Amino acid sequence: MSGTSGSVAAATPDDEYEVLCDEDGSFLRRYSTADGATVTTDTELDGVTAYTPIGDVVRCGAAPAPAANPQLTSTAQRQTGAGAVTIGAGARSVTLVVYAGAPTISIGGAAAVPLAAGTSLSWGVDQGGPDGEELADAFTFAGVAGSDFLVTSTREA
C-alpha cells in the first residue's frame, strides 16, 4: 500500500553479549531480556560451556581501580650555584622551575641538556596504588655557578 508506514514488534527475547575478565581470564556474558526481566548467563568463549567467574569481574583491559587515598610524600629542593638534585625512578610527579643561570637536566642517564632561565617543566602520572603508574626514569638536575632552580616531586609512600 502506497504512503503508509509503521512498525511491527516481535515478541522475541533480546540478547546482548559482552566479553569480560576475572582472575582466570576472559569469558562471555549474555544478557537476555524477555518480558521486562533481564537474565545473565556466563559461558566460556565458545558460548556453550557454563562458566563461573572467580573474583572481581571487570571489562577486559580495564585499568585497575586506584588505591583509596594513597599516601604521597613530597619534596621541594632549591639549588643555588653549583650542585645537583636527583629524583630517583618511581616518582609520581616531578616539576622544575629555573629562576636563573643555565642548569642541565639528564633523564634516565641520557646526555645532559642545558635549560634557560624561565624554563618550567613537569612530568607526572595520574593513577597510583599497588598496580598504578610511576615515572620509570631518574631525573638529575645539575647547577653551575649562577644557577638558581627549584625541583619538587611526589611519590607514593
- Residue 58 in contact with residue 121, Cβ under 8 Å? no
Give the pLDDT confidence of 57-111 residue by residue, as tens digits: 988 887 666 656 778 899 999 999 999 999 999 999 999 999 999 999 999 999 9
Give the pLDDT confidence of 101-137 residue by residue, as tens digits: 999 999 999 999 999 999 999 999 887 666 678 999 9
Return d(Cα 123, Cα 34) in angstroms, integer: 52
Q: What is the pLDDT of residue 68?
A: 66
pTM assigned to the model: 0.58
Q: What is the pLDDT of residue 8?
A: 58
* Strands 113-114 and 104-107, sheet pairing: antiparallel
pLDDT at 144 over 60: yes
